[in-house]
Amino acid sequence: MNTIKYIFLIAFCLSAISCEKLVEGINDNPNEISSDNFDAGILLLKGIELANISVQAGHQNRIGGMWSGQTLGLVLLYKSIYEYNLSAEETTNIWENAYQGVVKQSRVLREQTANNPKADQFAGVVKVIEANTMGTIASLFGDVPYSEISDDDIPDPVFDSQTAVFNQLQALLSEAISDLSSATNSAIPEDLYLNGDTEKWIKVAHTLKARLYLYTREYANAYQEALQGISAPDEALTFTPPNIGNGSLNLNYKMINERGGYWGFTGSYLDQLMTTDRNHEKTNEAARLTYYRFDGNSANNNKGIAAPDRTMILVGYEENLLILAESAVRNGQAEDGLAHLNELRAYLASGTAFEQLNEADALVYEAFTLADFAAGGIENTDNIDATRALLREIIEERYVSGFTQLMPFDDLRRVGSKENDIAVLPPFNSPTATKYPQRFIVAQTELSANPNAPSDPGIFAETEVNR
């Protein structure tokens, strides 16, 4: 595969260096930096983690947000993408960050640290990151190369089925948990996420396993994994940008700063939902709405979710609670599901889940009871089945809590394709559309270079798990 032939270093600013073999012997240049000349734990781990941030929270994340009604594309490129016009060139960045920046470098790091006293710790950490990245890639694209990409003798790897990739990632996460369980829990300053804390990394791995099981609708397995997953806000996989230059900023801020006027929130379906439909005697979203509502014209006006140093969530505490809530209800445990939902609501009500920018804004998240979801209850005014009404609220909470993450786009495809009664279904972005986008187009670099790349079915063709 053309995009994983080259090894390059991603330094802290996420700049890349790649070398193409032009003549025989070029790799013997004594002045050239190679992976033997540096401590992989210092240079590679930071780059791997920053590349993963780009995969989880970059341009493609914003595309998913626009397609799921969370934000608006207003002019030029973003308006075109908002209206479901996506070219293969738009996905080159995420493809390269995933395969080169994360997967290739993770495997180099494991090789270079094999004799390091922290070998198991390094291996476990980067296996979790690889699973995070490739889980997102398989979710967004469907069938992708994976099983053959570690073999340098295979220049054109096959595209594995989406479910096959998810199964391989489940195995990788199990390996990671084993590695981390046997490792000494010591600090790794180069770990920008969790400082090497093995106990927290193990919990992140379980939450990722739960996320993958949610993709494949294996709800009993999802529940069991989430029980072992992230159980406190400080265990979440996050990154707080240091705000020391253009390469160290919150990616929402950076987007607005570079392309002011392209992208907006005000007037989006999420904005409308939080302004009106979400609010009743037990819920008032005013404070969270103020935190979410960003100025897409002037980056420096943003103090909330698009502030320059605002923490970006990659695998969250809220997500784990909502996996527990949804999977419990789907497994016939409505009371347990409600308890997990109320645990999240208590966290939101505490005022610590997000910064309250305006003290005058209401912040109300009272605990629900099962009666609230009975026919005629405050969460079931249209008199659907009570269990379905509870599920509908959980899915809607995932839609709101997942803002600036991929969770809303994941659910639009997972739930919207089969369960219209509980799905969050925003208006279409184009007057001619009759269906929501279901996938991204494989990067043009891969389509051009790999003869095993399948014919692209278009963005409206469901991926395997959502058919």
Q: Which residues pair with 450 in a beta bridge?
A: none
85: Cβ contacts below 8 Å, ≥ 6 apart: none
Q: What is the predicted pLDDT for the residue at 81?
A: 98
Given its phi and psi angles, is residue 99 left (phi above 0), alpha (psi -120 to 50 degrees) or beta? alpha
243 vs 431, residue with greater confidence: 431
What confidence tens digit (pLDDT) does each residue in 193-231 have?
999 999 999 999 999 999 999 999 999 999 999 999 999
Residue 247: per-residue pLDDT? 72
Record the tokens describing residue 166, joined without a space: 């998810």
Task: State which amino acid sits at residue 291.
Answer: Y
Domains contained in the chain, CATH given = 2-19+40-426 (1.25.40.390)
Rg (CA), the chain: 22
Mean pLDDT of the chain: 92
Longest dimension (CA), the chain: 76
The answer to whether residues 335 and 386 touch, using CB atoms and an 8 Å cutoff, is no
Please tell me the number of Cα atoms within 13 Å of 167 on its side-chain side. 8
Inter-residue contact 324 to 223 (CB < 8 Å): yes
Residue spans of alpha helices (H) in 23-83: 40-57, 59-67, 76-82
Q: For 277-301, write each residue's pLDDT tens digit.
A: 999 999 999 999 999 999 999 999 9
CB 200 within 8 A of CB 194: yes
Closest CA to 53 of 307, 251, 294: 251
pLDDT for res 243 = 84
pLDDT tens digits along 415-438: 998 999 999 999 999 999 999 999
Predicted confidence band at 357 (pLDDT cuts at 50, 70, 90)? Answer: very high
Structure tokens at 389: 């009404």
Give the predicted TM-score (pTM) of the model. 0.93
